[in-house]
Structure 1
Amino acid sequence: MQPTKNNSKNLAPTPFAQTYFHGTKANLQLGDLIEPGYHSNFGQRKKAKYIFLAATLDAAIWGAELAVGEGCERIYLVEPTGAIENDPDLTDRKFPGNPTMSYRSTEPFRVVGEITVWQGHSKEQVQLMKDALTKLNEQGVNSVNDE
């Protein structure tokens, strides 16, 4: 049997296309853009030069759980509108090779869906992570994303 060629120039995404997630407490709608320029949820809370996404649900869950604010924790499916690069805080500094599959960009992400059912980390795990981040901040260890 000969393989067939698909000559279509407008191929639809396949089930194997990369999925990206963004964890936050912001209430967003389908089609909304997540853009840099707002105060960061982390570090010194400066106006964010970058926005973040991950190809693993666990990394996005951490983003939602650690986000500043009183809103509901949310996980959005997003598509980048421009180039993305490894998040150096989670690759070069902590996890060489980017096993968390965490990325950043200066270009917006478009919200294309929301994960409404997911299992968060235990309250103890979240508190340990928040304590560790506070300790780093007190030691003057800042995110390269704040630079």
Structure 2
Amino acid sequence: MENALVPELEISDLRTSLDFYVNLIGFSIVYQRPEEGFAFLQLGAAQLMLDTVGMGRTFDGVADGLSGRGVNFQIEVTDPDHIVRVLADAEWPLFLPIEEKWYRRGSEEVGNRQFCVRDPDGYLLRLTRSLGARPGTVSDH
């Protein structure tokens, strides 16, 4: 089943982005149209599209300096620690180091083991694994 929301990211170079997303993060290429600078990727249930600016159809937020600003994409992964090691081996910097973070959701807290990294075009990815839920300390009321 396809997801109801699949972001399409404007990128500057398909080969560079595929190297990052496939070889470092672990996405698979579902299909691509290299002549258009386009690829559709998947990692678990997460899907995204890469579209090279200036090839095929371009919406061109890049020209306005707006691509990726103010958004981060949370992607569920099975082993964030492994991806951190792969990124370290490639000398790719993390935006936020790996951490365990708990967030209040109603009367409980949900936990994530997570880190953040920027892709070659500056898009911020938050790669996370669920730590489950626990009773919260503060209510919504």
TM-score (norm 2): 0.26
TM-score (norm 1): 0.25
Going by fraction, where is strand more abundant, 1 or 2?
2
Relative contact order (C-alpha < 8 Å, sep 6+): which is higher?
1
